[in-house]
Each structure stands twice: as C-alpha cells, then as structure tokens.
Homo-oligomer: A and B are copies of this chain.
C-alpha cells in the first residue's frame, strides 16, 4: 500500500442531516456535492427539492434513496416539512442554476437552516449583499463552495504566506484557462453553455464570473488580502455570444503589490488550467490545479523545492486536509470534500453553541467579494478599460 501515513483516517463522530435544492438527474454539480458530502461520511442526505420539474424530482429522489415524503416540490414545502421533524435537515445544499441561489438560500437561512451554496453566491452584487445581511441576522452558517480553496497544497500555500515565508507580497499571477467555449456551443443545445452565456441566468459576467472569480478568490485566499482596484479588458470571441469569454485583468493592492488575472474559455489546449503564482521579497510559490498535489517553493538564491501533499515539506495545514499518503494523488473531489468536512465540523460546533475557529471554508463574504470583483470588471470594461476601485468596505 505505501509509506507510513501522517494524516488521519477520518471517522464520523455524528452525521449531519443534509437537504438539497437542485441536483436532480442530469445536474452535474449536484452529484459533485453529494460525493463531497459522502467522502468523509459526515452527512446523510435526508430531504430535497431536486428539480423544478416534479416528475424529474421524484425520479431523482428514488435514485438517491430519499424517503418519498421528503422529496419536496418547492423550497417552501421543504422548509415547512423539515421544520417539524426531530430528524429534519440541519443544513441545505443549494446547487440550482446560479440565478436561483439567492431565493433558495435566503429562505433556508430564514427558516433557521445552515446553507452550503455553490458559487457564484447570487446573480447580482445587490442580492449578494442582501444575502450577507440575512446570514448575519440568521446566526446560521453559510458555506460557499469555492472548492479550489480545499486543495491541501493551497492551504499550505496560504499558511506559508501567513507565516511570512514569502516576505512582502510583490506579484500575484492567477490564471484560469479553458477551451470548451472555443466554438459557440450555446447554439448547439449544450445546456451548460447556454446558461453560462445568458446574461439573464449568469448575470453580467461570462468567463469572469464562471472561472475568473475562482482565480480571484484563490489569490485572495492564499495571499490573505484583496486588491483595492482593478482594470479589465473583456472580450467575446465566440460568434453571437452575449457574455465575455476572455478576460485580461490587472490588479493593484494597497501595499503596492501588483497582480494579473487571465480568465479564458477559448484558450485551445487548456482544460482547467487554474494556476497561481505568488512572489514576495523572499520567496516564490507556484501551483497548478491540474497537478494539485505539488507546490513549488523557491527561496531566493536556493534551488526550487517540490513540496508534496503529505510528503517531505508538507505543512500541518496540508496534512490535515489529506486522506492518503504522498504519491497517491488526491484530486478535485477530495478538495471539494474538504469544504464539506469543514462545514460538518462547524455545524457540529454550532450544535453546541460553539464556533469552529479552525474553519477555512469560504463564506458569504467571499461571495460578496466575488460579486464586487465581477462588478468592477464590468464597470472597468464598460469605461473602455479604466482603473476601477473595488468597493470592499
């Protein structure tokens, strides 16, 4: 099997009762959330509004082994139905199309349920800010699945920056390049392409919203800071497309650090090329989502070091987020599951009236900041590509 393992086999000290909104048959991201919830055995799916189409919702519930009376037809029904039960859902995963996140999440929070929400948090900044207030008022947990922050070596990178290993932050280079929208798939009946390129359903951002926010969020997560202004040059290459599919973005930080973000869905030859490179006055860090178990670290004047998840050079922050030994790759689902497992711990703490201070999962605040990023990009671009303040209060 392998070398002595330095992490811990996770065992479940008590299962969290999970409801789900969206994620019926054919919905990709719902399946990912369920795998992530199952990975460490912390959750049991107990209820759902799996589809806006009642038939599909019922079939999906059967597939998933839900009790028929807990396969609801609407969010309101679920909230009402679960509230009365001693074994009612405690937390709800919102995995609908993006423009429906807001209403679903708000209803759950107001009903006293924790929420795990797929990104982007809402379709507009205004909704995101409203939702943030709802979260604050509710006292409930809100976990945003900016899942790339769950990768162990990303956690290590964050810890290294926080510990001063890089010195003063100087340069941030973040990229998220794909190629699947090289041709106008949205005109060929591909659903995922349709809603992602439809301003009604995706908001004002195309590639900047779908993937640019991931790159931006990841940079913020690792560096521990937000830029103060940005400049965006958006482009649309897909014929007849209504939203951007390529974005060139510059960032400025309060302390003089500089950044570049490139998001593209037309970069032929890139699948999910999400990379982060961070350079400070002492050291540099480089990471690539397609090879996520490795982190390249260079102290100025020394040879580049290859740090591996659970291997030599791994920090506790990475080990804690790992399941298996170094050299046995963990991937996207494990990173996603780390968000869910942290959510579970936080919910368990909340049951006791406590707060899990170690949690690193993204929250509604990250969601708001992501929407401000999108808004600033759109504003900057509309002005012909001008520097635009990012309105983080």
> A12-B63, A248-B260, A330-B333 given as contacts; is B34 within 8 A of A271 (CB)?
no
Chain B residues whose CB sits within 8 angstroms of the CB of A248 once the complex forms? 250, 258-260
- Cβ–Cβ contact B283 & A268, under 8 A: yes
Listed in ascending order, the chain A residues whose CB lies under 8 Å from chain B are 1-5, 9-13, 15, 25-32, 34-35, 38-41, 60, 63-65, 170-171, 173, 178-180, 182-183, 185, 190, 192-193, 210, 231, 233, 235, 237, 246, 248, 250, 252, 256, 258-260, 262, 264, 266-273, 277, 279-284, 286, 289-293, 296-308, 311-313, 323-334, 384-387
- Cβ–Cβ contact A299 & B332, under 8 A: no
- Given the complex of chains A and B, what is the CA–CA distance between A192 and B185 in angstroms? 51
> A171-B246, A256-B235, A305-B305 given as contacts; is B35 within 8 A of A39 (CB)?
yes
Q: How many copies are assembled?
A: 4
- Chain B CB within 10 A, most for which of A193, A256, A328: A328
- Cβ–Cβ contact B210 & A1, under 8 A: yes
- Cβ–Cβ contact A5 & B28, under 8 A: yes
- Cβ–Cβ contact B183 & A2, under 8 A: no
Chain B residues whose CB sits within 8 angstroms of the CB of A38 once the complex forms? 38-39, 41
24 A–B contact pairs at CB < 8 A? A2-B178, A3-B192, A35-B323, A171-B266, A179-B279, A179-B298, A237-B256, A237-B281, A246-B258, A266-B279, A267-B279, A268-B283, A269-B284, A269-B286, A269-B296, A271-B328, A273-B327, A289-B327, A304-B305, A328-B331, A328-B332, A329-B332, A330-B332, A333-B334
Name A306's closest neighbour in chain B (CB-CB).
B304
Name A23's closest neighbour in chain B (CB-CB).
B9
- Cβ–Cβ contact B179 & A284, under 8 A: yes
In-complex Cβ contact of A326 among B4, B27, B182, B272 (8 A): B272
Name A269's closest neighbour in chain B (CB-CB).
B298
> A3-B192, A290-B327 given as contacts; is B299 within 8 A of A303 (CB)?
no
Q: Closest CB-CB distance, A235 to chain B, in whole Å?
A: 5
- Cβ–Cβ contact B173 & A262, under 8 A: yes
Chain B residues whose CB sits within 8 angstroms of the CB of A385 once the complex forms? 231, 250, 387
Chain B residues whose CB sits within 8 angstroms of the CB of A280 once the complex forms? 268
> A233-B252, A279-B268 given as contacts; is B11 within 8 A of A64 (CB)?
yes
Chain B residues whose CB sits within 8 angstroms of the CB of A32 once the complex forms? 1, 323-324
Name A285's closest neighbour in chain B (CB-CB).
B269
In-complex Cβ contact of A4 among B30, B34, B192, B284 (8 A): B192
Chain B residues whose CB sits within 8 angstroms of the CB of A386 once the complex forms? 386
Q: Given A170-B237, A306-B306, list of 7 further CB < 8 A pairs?
A: A3-B271, A35-B40, A39-B39, A171-B267, A248-B250, A268-B282, A330-B332
